[in-house]
């Protein structure tokens, strides 16, 4: 009798611990969600007032206290394009090597280790590397080209990893089918692996590029300019970029209070770009998954 009371009391205590424990986890999740949504709400509500057709289609005027952000939008677009042209094919090629050709061994392990470590190198260190290699040694100067290549190196580990995931999702039977018919390795990859993995690779690439487009530290010293009255004419020109423009408007401006609402507008445009890119990639991924199920 006594022992059963003790037992039920103990089990009650355990029940209570579970209740409290799960409640704590729930509170943690809700506070994180609330925080994220509040950030978006804050930027949205304060930035929306600055957004207008003029804001999106004109250059800054009057010492950047009026006007728009068109040069920054164009600059970010151009630099991301260079990043894509550099990092996406290279990332895909490296992933094809790792997933289709490489045998398990010391070299392969070393390559994978390097990729994972590259993903952890601070973005400002990439910026320093870009200054030495692209700006000085290769003499590209501070330019769209230098900044785009620097961001390309930064995104390389992400594009490789994403491309490899896509290659892994192609069933081995597809490969075996081609080889059984006498196809060479490259024929097999071209006809039976790439067509099914390229959409997944591109999805990963888009996510990587969205992150690259929002980076500031790597472009600060490799080509981004404080203010340019004209749009860039060649890849050797400097450029304005959305993230750097936001930094300038928020901290370096001579009349910060006057420019604050333009900074909010810039932040909102940047966030909307990044979120749209991400949503696009997520939808693409969901559609691919459905396609695979059939």
Partner 1 sequence: MISVKKKSILGDLKESLIQKAFQTSGLLAILVLLGIFALLLYTSVPAFKEISLKEFLTSTRWDPTSPERPEYGLLSMLASTIMVTVGALLIAFPLGVAVAAYLSDVASPKVREIVKPVVELLAAIPSVVVGFIGLTLVSPLLAKIFKLSHGLTALNGSLMLAIMALPTIISISEDSLNAVPVSYVEASLALGANRWQTLVRVKIPAAISGIIASLMLGMGRAIGETMTVLMATGNARAFPHGLLQSVRTLTANIAIELGEVPYFTTHYYALFGIGLVLFLMTFAINLTADLILEKQKRKLK
Residues 177-236 that bind partner 1 (CB under 8 A): 184-186, 207, 210-211, 214-217, 220-221
d(CA 35, CA 16): 28
Q: What are phi and psi of 239, to 5 degrees?
A: -150, 160
**Tokens of residue 126, six digits:** 């990439």
d(CA 146, CA 49): 35
**Is 283 among the residues that bind partner 1 (CB under 8 A)?**
no
List binders of partner 1 among 134-153 (CB under 8 A).
136, 153
Determine the interface stretch with partner 1 among 51-59, 67-75, 167-175, 256-264 (rule: CB under 8 A).
Answer: 256-264
Reduced to 3 states (helix: H, G, I; strand: E, B; else coil), residue 60 is: strand
Among 114, 173, 181, 255, binds partner 1 (CB under 8 A): 114
Q: Establish how many alpha carbons lie within 13 A of residue 171's alpha carbon, considering only the half-sphere containing its beta carbon.
A: 5
Sign of CA dihedral 54, 254, 260, 265: positive
Nearer to partner 1, 233 or 238 (CB): 238
Residues 6+ away with beta carbon under 8 Å from 222: 127, 130, 131, 134, 135, 142, 143, 146, 147, 150
Determine the interface stretch with partner 1 among 9-17, 57-65, 169-177, 227-235 (rule: CB under 8 A).
Answer: 9-17
Nearer to partner 1, 174 or 221 (CB): 221
List binders of partner 1 among 21-50 (CB under 8 A).
21-22, 24-26, 28-29, 31-33, 35-37, 39, 42-43
Among 52, 57, 117, 173, binds partner 1 (CB under 8 A): 117
Residues 6+ away with beta carbon under 8 Å from 237: 143, 144
**Tokens of residue 28, six digits:** 């943690």
Nearer to partner 1, 53 or 128 (CB): 128
Q: Is 231 exposed, middle or buried (0-12, 13-18, 19+ CB in 10 A)?
A: middle
Nearer to partner 1, 53 or 272 (CB): 272
CA-based R_g, the chain, Å: 25
Binding mask 258-277 for partner 1 (x = CB under 8 A): --x--xx--x--xx--xx-x
List binders of partner 1 among 45-74 (CB under 8 A).
none
Q: How many residues bind partner 1 (CB under 8 A)?
A: 83
Nearer to partner 1, 50 or 220 (CB): 220
Nearer to partner 1, 6 or 233 (CB): 6
């Amino acid at each position: 009798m006594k022992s059963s009371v003790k037992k039920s009391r103990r089990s009650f205590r355990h029940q209570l611990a579970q209740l409290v424990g799960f409640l704590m986890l729930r509170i943690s999740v809700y506070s994180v969600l609330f925080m994220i949504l509040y950030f978006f709400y804050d930027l949205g509500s304060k930035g929306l007032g600055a957004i207008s057709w003029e804001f999106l289609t004109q250059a800054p005027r009057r010492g950047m206290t009026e006007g728009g952000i068109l040069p920054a939008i164009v600059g970010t677009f151009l630099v991301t394009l260079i990043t894509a042209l550099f990092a996406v094919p290279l990332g895909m090629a490296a992933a094809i090597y790792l997933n289709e050709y490489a045998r398990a061994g010391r070299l392969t392990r070393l390559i994978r280790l390097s990729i994972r470590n590259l993903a952890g190198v601070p973005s400002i260190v990439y910026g320093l590397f870009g200054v030495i290699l692209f700006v000085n040694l290769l003499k590209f100067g501070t330019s769209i080209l230098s900044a785009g290549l620097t961001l390309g190196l930064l995104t390389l580990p992400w594009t490789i990893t994403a491309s490899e995931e896509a290659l892994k999702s192609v069933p081995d039977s597809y490969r075996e089918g081609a080889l059984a018919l006498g196809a060479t390795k490259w024929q097999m990859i071209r006809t039976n692996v790439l067509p099914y993995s390229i959409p997944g690779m591109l999805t990963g690439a888009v996510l990587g590029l969205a992150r690259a487009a929002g980076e500031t530290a790597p472009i600060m010293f490799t080509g981004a300019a404080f203010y340019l009255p004209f749009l860039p004419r060649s890849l050797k020109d400097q450029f304005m970029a959305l993230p750097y423009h936001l930094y300038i408007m928020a901290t370096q401006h001579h009349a910060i209070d006057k420019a604050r609402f333009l900074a909010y507008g810039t932040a909102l445009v940047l966030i909307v770009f990044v979120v749209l890119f991400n949503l696009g990639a997520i939808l693409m991924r969901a559609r691919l998954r459905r396609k695979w199920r059939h």
